[in-house]
Structure 1
Amino acid sequence: MTAAVIAVAALVAGLAVWAGSDSRATVSETAPPPEGTPAQPADVPSTLNEAWRAPSGATPVPVSEAGMVVTASGGEVVGRDAASGQQRWRYARDLPLCTVGSEWDRALAVYRKSDGCSEVTQLDARTGHRTAQRNGDAELGTRLVGDGGYVTATGERLLNTWRDDLVKSMEFGRVYAQVNAGYQPRPNCRYGTVAAAAGRVGVIERCPGEDGARLTVLKAAPDESDQPEEEFSVSLPERRAKLVAMVPGGSAVVLPQARELVLYDPKGNERLRYPLDVPQSDLDAEPDDGVLPTARGPENVYWFTGSRTIALSTEDLSPRWTVHNTRGAGVAYAGRYVTPIGGGLAVLDPADGRTVRTIALDRGDYRGPIEMAAAGPVLLEQRGDTVVGLR
């Protein structure tokens, strides 16, 4: 009799734990991997039309990985067929999403719990199978920045970097529940824009007692994750300086007051300064998520200032050309560069910015900025909280 009572009590307790667990509140609908990834066309089509649209308020840019499109809204992450937009897999939790990004052919879903973005789930982009999970310390408003090898979660007071199995490789800033004191060089600073390249993470620091800002570049994977290692940290003359982009050959910083783009080599030495013919309102604007709008192609990094796009060389980020009246950073596609403009898309030669042709496109009453990506032959536009597939 006693054994039976104990067994029933254990069963009831187990059911209570299960009912309140993360597993109980998680839905995972997986799918077999797609047969193949369609290639991009040899040239940009002369016409493009909306093929599908889906809500995706948790993606700051369209997420395209392994030939799939990943959308995210509320607490739900959905893997979609790029051509039709039809759902192939779905992962959902009873928590709101902070942000969703991608790297390593996987989707990275960051969920909000308590006061921060502390639940990170990694999903195979082809099938939706969960491949890794971790508890993190990312801040509200975080954005994921990848360099192909590591991913960094942005924040105003803390940066976290993870490797492909979501093991933390670096933390920088005001560390929560810090075990060893004294490892963080400037824990009272606040952070501006962040960029990454080739195993390095760059950040603009704004520190108490310093008139200007500083550009700090860190190893993405130091010997100990809680002991950041600086490649360099150099003072900047302006408090509102912003890190535009990084490549293996250096970093580019914009100085809004001087209206200049300043290039630094990999050791932190200033190389060149370029005057910027850009509206002051563009230069003064501060991104909410710590990342300036850029897109990478084989030849250029494309920086969207807010009213125009500047092509920067992938070798050292020196400016090559500028196109005016754009609405986003655009995307490298079919050997060309495609950028959103009012009423459609401009197809440009990436070598010199020459307009090859324009494509008319009806976006209804949407007038905001547009982020783009490509999934095989399908072009994707993020218009606010919606992702649109174009064919």
Structure 2
Amino acid sequence: MPPEQNAAPEDPAARDAAQAQPEQPGTPANPEQPSAESGEPATEAPAEPAAVQAEPAATPAEPASAAIPGDTPTEPSAAASEPPALSAEAPAVAPAEAVPAEPLLAAPLLPGALLAESAATPSDAEPPPPVPPRSFVTRWDLVATAVITVTLLVAALLVWTFSDARATVSQTSNPPLPLLDAPTSLPPTLAEVWRAPSTATQNAVTTAQVVVTADNGAVVGRDPLSGQERWRYQRDLPLCTVAPAFGQILAVFQRGDTCSEVTALDPATGKRGAQRNGDAEVGTRLLVDGVHLTTTGKKYLEGWRSDLVKTQEYGQVRAMVQPGKQLRTGCTYGSVAVTPNRVGVIERCPDDPGDRLTVFKPNPKDFDKPEASMSVVLSGSGARVIALGPDRVAAALPDPARLAIYDGNGAPVSEVPLNLPASDLQGDPDGGVAPTTVALSARCSDGTATPLTFAANTTCPSGEPASTVPTVVYWWTGSRTIALASATMTPLWTMENTLGPGTLFAGRLMVPTPAGLSVADPNSGALLGRLPLNREGYRGLVTLASAGPVLVEQRGGTLVALR
């Protein structure tokens, strides 16, 4: 308890007189004069709380001890100049220089001491008004915050406005599209059930659960039975091409002067999968050998794995890191064909007297350093590579029309004359790819073989997965369909007056003709029947594919479903 509580009430007049009395010259103030009763040095007490200065004393104040009975000043002047003695438990307080009319507080008071002091002061003394807390936020701080906030909002709006995310529509199917069973028997007739534009597909794109159309920047998954849209992936970029690969649908978009943006889509839902940026040329096609994918082009070919990781750079690389790694420079490419782990290309190089046929790996040790297994200069120009087998490659040459066959080391095997009109082999094929379809033979460990199929994943009767190998290649020359044996590349049979290479459907080979569809045995080519169709005067290339019981035709930029 503060010492003021031990003092008797002092006379205000005496206190004022004591404060007004001038200090005697030569007599210093002695605030540490000992008390007669306590023997402890006395400290000068403040007169009023309102006159307390803000500076704290040199020594912190300790809690006041209990009052000592009988400890009262003997005269008013002593009460004003010398405060009552502290308790014996209180430590001595450092002296403070007395200032007339403004007594100093020797030490800050604790809350209990303040209450006691207020009780000892006259009733007319008012406490100092509370000091409002100082605000560290100015008007300019608020203005700066507002400017920064508006700037960030505008920047975010601009980023969103011009971002790829805003320009992309991704609508998925829920539930996923179901798998459709392939037909076991051929229907007696086929009729159109629906059609849709598909200008960005060169071949009909289907799986066992969906038919895909691509037009005006949109890739659309449709119900095969009704044509109803079930999922959509759309961007504000031109579509280069769309193709099935690795159990997915690959969509390639053009940005700038290349078809560089690739997205994999789930055929059942349309959900996005792997994505990559490449350097494929405008007009590219996607060729899949079951393990790797190759993009076509006039000056540059690129290879990818199933996860879209680049495995091959062949030709004129746009951003070359180390020069001198390509096999040849200054070449252009006429046509490309693939088979598992092999890529064949027709090259036209400035130092060669004729076209060059080269076969290289789609996955060399270094992706930017091609590895060729064979490369020979042909005896002529205007050649196109048709197909590759396990140890054979076939190229067609004009004037006269013939099929040149080479082994895996580039040695010539045979040259087979072809009865073709001259127009069939003029120029390079569209997209640098000869129109072909490949039928697979699935073999089981017990030696049995399944019928020809296009399915890379086939199950044996025992339940084990079958090993599939290319068996027959169906090649459309421009006027007729020729079947080639994959092992030897020799022609097996020819069907004249056709519009495309054909496809397998219900165990039969369906070949488009001007009158409709010819049904043939896939091995011998024997004609089994005809199904009439009205294509409304269309006479161009027709590619076929199937999705369950639905047969799909690609007629130029239109997809037509038949059932």
Q: TM-score, normalised by structure 1?
A: 0.97
Are positions 1:216 and 2:358 aligned together? yes
Partner in structure 2 of residue 258 of structure 1: 400
| Correspondence for 1:363 | 535
- For residue 14 of structure 1, the aligned residue among 142, 146, 156 is 156
Between Structure 1 and Structure 2, which shows a larger proportion of strand residues? 1
Q: Secondary structure of 2:385's partner?
A: strand
Specify the alignment match of 1:206 in structure 2: 348
Instruction: Give the % identical residues.
Output: 51
1:223-262 aligned within 5 A: 223-262=365-404
Once residues 201 and 89 of structure 1 are traced to their aligned partners in structure 2, the CA distance between those partners, rounded to angstroms, is 34
Aligned-partner residue type, residue 353 of structure 1: G
Once the two structures are overlaid, the 10-residue window that deviates more, 357-366 or 264-273, is 264-273
Q: Which moved more, 1:253-262 or 1:92-101?
A: 253-262
- Structure 1: which 5+ residue stretches go unaligned? none
User: Conserved in 2, the CA contact under 8 Å of 1:71 and 1:79?
Assistant: yes
User: Which residue of 239, 243, 247 maps to 1:101?
Assistant: 243
Aligned partner (choices 273, 288, 293) of residue 131 of structure 1: 273
Candidates 482, 487, 496, aligned match of 1:310 = 482
8 A Cα contact 2:207 2:546, kept in partner:
no
Return 259-268 or 121-130, whichever deviates more: 259-268
Shift of the alpha carbon at 1:70? 0.9
Q: Which residue of 1 aligns with 2:494?
A: 322
Cα distance in 1 between the residues matched to 2:390 and 2:507: 23
How far is the alpha carbon of 1:328 from its aligned partner?
A: 0.6
* Residues 1-391 of structure 1 mapped to structure 2, 5 A cutoff: 1=142, 2-32=144-174, 34=176, 36-297=178-439, 298=452, 299-391=471-563
Deviation at 1:20, TM superposition (A): 0.5
Partners of 2:409 and 2:539 in 1: how far apart?
41
**Structure 2: gaps of 5 or more residues:** 1-141, 440-451, 453-470
Q: 2: distance between equivalents of 1:178 and 1:329?
A: 39
**Inter-partner Cα distance in structure 2 for 1:32 and 1:233:** 50
Whether the 8 Å contact between 1:214 and 1:234 is mirrored in structure 2 is: yes
User: By how many angstroms is 1:66 displaced?
Assistant: 4.2
Task: Report the Cα distance in structure 2 between the residues aligned to 1:350 and 1:66, rounded to whole angstroms.
Answer: 21
Higher mean displacement: 154-163 or 296-305: 296-305
Q: How big is each residue's C-alpha offset from its partner over 1:275-308, in whole Å with a ceiling of 9 and x where there is no partner?
A: 1111111122421300011111234210000110
Q: Deviations over 1:331-379 (max 9, x none)?
A: 0121111100112100001221111000011111222221111112211
Checking the alignment, whether the CA contact within 8 Å between 1:66 and 1:125 is kept in structure 2 is: no
Classify the secondary structure of the residue corresponding to 1:289.
Answer: helix
Preserved CA contact (<8 Å) 2:249 2:264: yes
Judge conservation of contact 1:66–1:105 (CA < 8 Å) in 2.
no
Bigger drift between 245-254 and 374-383 goes to 245-254
Aligned-partner Cα distance in 1 for 2:216–2:403: 38
* 3-state SS, counterpart of residue 208 of structure 1: coil
Residues of 2 paired with 1:33 and 1:352: CA distance? 42
What secondary structure does 2:241 align onto?
strand
Judge conservation of contact 1:251–1:265 (CA < 8 Å) in 2. yes
Letter in 1 for 2:530: T
In structure 2, how many angstroms separate the alpha carbons of the residues matched to 1:7 and 1:164? 45
Paired with 1:32 and 1:188, the residues of 2 have a C-alpha distance of 50
- Within 2, Cα distance between the matches of 1:249 and 1:71? 36
In the alignment, the residues of structure 1 paired with residue 550 and residue 365 of structure 2 have an alpha-carbon distance, to the nearest angstrom, of 42
Contact in 2 for aligned 1:296/1:332 (Cα 8 Å): no
Q: Which residue is 2:24 aligned to?
A: none
TM-score in terms of structure 2 length:
0.68
Whether contact under 8 Å (2:177, 2:268) holds in the other structure is no
**Alpha-carbon displacement from aligned partner over 1:259-285 (angstroms, at most 9, x marks no partner):** 211122223222222111111111224
Structure with larger Rg: 2
1:222-258 Cα deviation digits (max 9, x unpaired):
1111111111111111121110012223211111123
Deviation at 1:35, TM superposition (A): 5.6
Higher RCO (CA < 8 A, seq sep 6+): 1
Instruction: State the alpha-carbon separation in 2 of the partners of residues 287 and 311 from structure 1.
Output: 18
Instruction: Confirm or deny: 8 A CA contact 2:293 2:304 kept in the other structure.
Output: yes
SS of alignment partner, residue 5 of structure 1: helix
Does 51-60 or 134-143 show the bigger shift?
134-143
* Count of paired positions: 391
Given residue 357 of structure 2, which amino acid in structure 1 is its aligned partner? L
Matched to 2:272, the amino acid is R
Q: Give the whole-Å Cα distance in 1 for the aligned partners of 2:330 and 2:436.
A: 29
Q: Is the contact made by 2:541 and 2:555 (CA closer than 8 Å) also made in structure 1?
A: yes
Single out whichever of 152-161 and 118-127 deviates more from structure 2.
Answer: 118-127
Name the aligned partner's letter for residue 542 of structure 2.
I
